[in-house]
Structure 1
Amino acid sequence: MATVVRILDQSSTVVNEVFDRNRIAEDLRHREFDASVRIQAWFRGARVRAYIKFLNRCATIVQKLWRGFLGRAVYREIIKVQVMIMRLNYYNAMATKVQKIWRGYYTRKYIHNYYSRKQYLEGLMIKNSIVRQELSEYTEQMALERQQKEQEEAQRKLEAEASRKHYLISTEVVPGIYNSPFKPYPDEMEYILRSVQPRPPDKPKPKRENRSGIIIPESPPLPLTEPLPPIGQKLQGPFRMPAEVQKQRYKKLQPTLRVQTSFTSVEEAREAMKAKEWVMRVNDNIFVPFTRRHRGYDPLLHTTSAYGHLPYGTRYFREEDLEQHITDQRFRGVVSPIPVFEKLNDTYSKGTETIPGNPV
């Protein structure tokens, strides 16, 4: 009975202490929640970063091995090519050396023989002397022909001059200037004047204009024509002939192009073109525009596949393998759940999990 009395005396103090502890726990609840969220975020970030680092290291190892394999394959090909080139160069050098030795031997024995060369040079000297003699004779002959042509040209010019001055020839009564009575014999020009014929008179020069100098063509002779018929009776005054007036009055109509063209000429030309096209064409299937074709829709290849549509797009953009996810039961929430949300079958944070048997 004494214990009950003592507890009743201390009841007010116990109640106050309980309320104080609850108030302190309520004040520290948000701070503990933020701290737990931050610790979980850091831990999960470290776990993801470690996993990404592990994947990068694995990818690096795979790439290193694959690139090493490709590099060794390329290196082997390069070595093969270099060995082949080295062998070809060696074989070419050996072939060149053999050809050099053989050509030197063949040249010294058959081409550049000393005695045959000496004999060739002696024959060449004899041939050169013969050619030089023939060239000298040919030069003398050409000089004589050139001199003869010059003499003939001079003689022709002298005869032309004598023909032009034929009026200076001597006569029996009056001696010319080339047949002077004071000389014992006549001049050579006198004999030339006697041997040539006088030059015919020059043709009349064509008429030219005084300023421009253009040759005025001679007018052709007038043709001989028949005499004109007599002029008939003509009306006096500004009148036309009756036949012309009659022709003007009864002339044919001259319609315009618009009147001559048919009103349906375009449709007739189109029908004629269609008829000609129908006769000339090879294929009887008439081309129909796409808007007038009544045909079913042909689906695409990837939509008609027997294995379903392709795994590409917003739904199947990233492939997931759930077997590689870390689902160890050791990673659990460390913060106790809140009783209010526990009644609703949910916790305050999605990352936490209710552990059975833990006190609230």
Structure 2
Amino acid sequence: MKMKHYHRMATTIQKTWRGFYTRKYVSNYYSRKRYLEGLKIKNEIMLNELEEYAEQQEQMTEIKKDIDQKKKLDTFSRKNHYLLSTVVQPGVFNSPYKPYPDEMEFHLRNAKMDSPSPHPPKKSKDKIFDPSWRRYDLPKPEVLPPVNGKPQGPFRDPREVQQQRYKPFQPTLRVESNYYSLDEAREKMKQEEWVNRLIDIKFQPSKRKTYAYEPLLHSTSSFGHLPYGTSYFRHEYPDKWLFGSSEKFRTVVPPIPVFEKLNDTYTEG
């Protein structure tokens, strides 16, 4: 009984302590309220700063766009300054049918032409090198000065280096082979055949083999062959027509006189 009582009292103490710890350190209402109020104020400040930054960026973009547009307009005015109006002849942008000239006319008037850039002086072609280089005029030493110190090695054998430098030409198989090797091989084979054969004319038998005639099934059938192409393919039989030469079809359209004279005045093709 005592142990149960102790466990129950420990549970009560733990619940009370945990609730106090949670309310004070984990989910403190007043501290959370102060934090949210400060966060709200900070958000408002950030939003105001972002709005100011966005307005500043828009202004910078508009200023840059205006500068680019002005540069393009100035370039166009300098290139097309010949379209400006004169006292005698009105220009393209100054129509006589309008009460006032176009805005481009004033831009052409205010355009400032670029001054011609000076060309660099041409170099004389008589001298190959630059005359400012005076070292060409210095006397050259006849003998090179001696090399101080021993050169570092190790070095390869001079014979091996010379052999590598002057090694013989090693052509490929295609370069080494003769271009007419195939024709020469054929000619050589013909000569060998001509030498090895016994007679010039091949042996021909005196008896000639005869082959039995095999009649066609189409022409030797007991039922007879078909008359296609022999009896009625190239001839006409008007008496076997459904309508004879006297009886013609009844035409709805009146006949053409030229076609009526076909068998009388024209020959059949």
Q: What range describes the TM-score normalised by the shorter chain of this pair?
A: 0.3 to 0.5
Higher helix proportion (structure 1 or 2): 1
Q: What's the TM-score, normalizing by structure 1?
A: 0.27
Which has the higher Rg, Structure 1 or Structure 2? 1
Q: Normalising by structure 2, what TM-score?
A: 0.35
